[in-house]
Amino acid sequence: MTEEAGHPEGLLESLRDLAATFVALVQTRIEIFASEVDEERTRLARIAVLALTALFCLGLAVVLLVLLVAVIFWDEHRLLAVGLLAALFALCGLASLLALRSAVRKRPKFLSATLAELRKDEQELGRR
């Protein structure tokens, strides 16, 4: 009896299956999104901690190096020594900024996996 007259139970079951599939699809995409956000947050926190630690250590080393050179050349060429060190550190800072800019430009696109999955979904839905 359920197989006759337009199959109302079959149509209702198909709609339920379609809704369940859609909900599962959305849930999967949300999980991918959440995972990517968490990975990005962890990556940025690690980069920030490493950068701050490196800056602190390098800054302290620079101050101590400048003091050492200034003390060594105090009597003869202290201004030349300090000037050369300042130029050296300025060049190192410029090189670091260029490397940082390159690293920022080369980083992976945020939410790339989520966007790729959504593109796949769009293509699959377009075929039907």
**If pLDDT is split at 50, 70 and 90, which confidence band does 1 have?**
very low
More confident residue, 70 or 114: 70
Q: How far apart are CA 110 and CA 108, in angstroms?
A: 6
Q: How far apart are CA 35 and CA 39, in angstroms?
A: 6
* pTM assigned to the model: 0.49
Tokens 């050349």: give the residue. Answer: 73
Distances (CA, A) of 29 to 23, 40, 93: 10, 16, 42
SS3 at position 113: helix
| pLDDT at site 8 | 67
| pLDDT at site 5 | 52
> pLDDT by residue (tens digit) across 34-89?
888 888 889 889 888 988 898 888 888 888 888 888 888 888 888 888 888 888 88
